[in-house]
Amino acid sequence: MQNITKISKQLSYWLRHCPQDAGLALSETGWANVDAVLKALSDKGVSCDAAKLGNVVALNDKQRFEFSEDGTMIRARQGHSLKIDLELTPVPPPDLLFHGTAERFLSSILHVGLKPMKRHHVHLSDNVDTAIKVGKRHGKPVVLAVDAGKMAGDGDLFYRTENGVWLTSSVPTACLSRHSGKV
58-95 per-position pLDDT tens digit: 987 778 899 999 999 999 988 888 888 888 899 999 99
Which secondary structure element, helix H or strand E, spans residue 73, and what is its range?
strand 73-76
The per-residue pLDDT for 183 is 45
Long-range contacts of 32-39 (CB under 8 A, 24+ apart): 32/73, 32/74, 32/75, 33/72, 33/73, 34/67, 34/71, 34/72, 34/73, 34/74, 35/72, 37/11, 37/74
Which secondary structure element, helix H or strand E, spans residue 115, and what is its range?
none
Rg (CA), the chain: 17
Q: Which CATH architecture has domain 96-178?
A: Alpha-Beta Barrel (3.20)
150-162 per-position pLDDT tens digit: 999 999 999 998 8
Fold (topology level) of 2-76: Arc Repressor Mutant, subunit A (1.10.10)
Please name the residue ranges forming H helices in the chain. Answer: 2-16, 34-43, 50-59, 106-112, 128-136, 148-153
3-state DSSP assignment of residue 85: coil
The ranges of the chain annotated as CATH 3.20.170.30 are 96-178
pTM above 0.85, yes or no: no
The per-residue pLDDT for 182 is 53
